[in-house]
Amino acid sequence: MKILKLNILLIIFSFLIISCKQDKTIDQKSSDIKNYSDLNLKNSLSNFTGYMTDKDTIIIYVDLSMEWWIRRDEIILTKTNNKIQLQATIKEDTTFEMKYQMRTNKLPVKVLKNENNSFEQYFVDKFERTQNEYSGRYIYKITAPNDTLIFYTNGLGDKGAEIKDYYKHMIQYYPNEEDFIPIEIIHENEIE
């Protein structure tokens, strides 16, 4: 009987030792995942592509939806071989009836030639939109490994102007893309 109890204690003890070693390995891996990036958007918004490493991915969600028109763009920035790559995907409801029959246009990957940090400057100029005084829906949500910045609009007129600015910004990177050319509106008094 003593031998049986001793064997059971040895098995339990062995199991505990193995479990502790596995927990340490898991803790080390999750620690490595959490600490793999020094990129912090709030502290480096004016030069976040300069702080990116090959381990970083920044995703910018753009919600352009207004009334019955639904459009959501996704811009992904990655760094490979010291080059920042830009990938834009456009999803738009083609029904204008909120049926969510989405057309997807995945644009080609572009190397971001970011002279004078012009890509980031666009968001720096709009930083006040991250404050609480804007209570509308978000237009930009920039997510990085360690944090997220959300930019808001305030009403349809404000959002319309912001969409126009966004198109001007993106047409620099995709100059022949019709999805970034604003639709011209003709007012009744301009029709002859």
- For 30-67, the pLDDT digits (tens) are 344 344 567 788 888 888 888 888 878 999 999 999 88
Q: What are the residue boundaries of the structural domains of the chain, listed by start?
A: 41-180
Residue 169, amino acid: H
Structure token pair of residue 102: 């989405």
Spatial distance between the Cα atoms of 124 and 46, rounded to a whole number of angstroms: 6
Are the CB atoms for 104 and 88 separated by under 8 Å? Answer: no
CA distances from 5 to 9, 11, 15, 84 (A): 6, 10, 15, 63
Question: Global pTM?
Answer: 0.73
Spatial distance between the Cα atoms of 128 and 171, rounded to a whole number of angstroms: 24
**Eight-state DSSP code of residue 135:** -
Cβ-count burial of 63 within 10 angstroms (0-12 exposed, 13-18 middle, 19+ buried)? middle
Q: Average model confidence (pLDDT) for the chain?
A: 78
- Cα 158 from chain centroid (whole Å): 22
Positions in the chain whose pLDDT score sits under 50: 6, 9-35
Radius of gyration of the chain (CA): 25
Structure token pair of residue 9: 């204690």
| CB count in 10 Å sphere of residue 156 | 11
Tokens 């959501």 -> residue: 72
| Residue-level pLDDT at 104 | 93
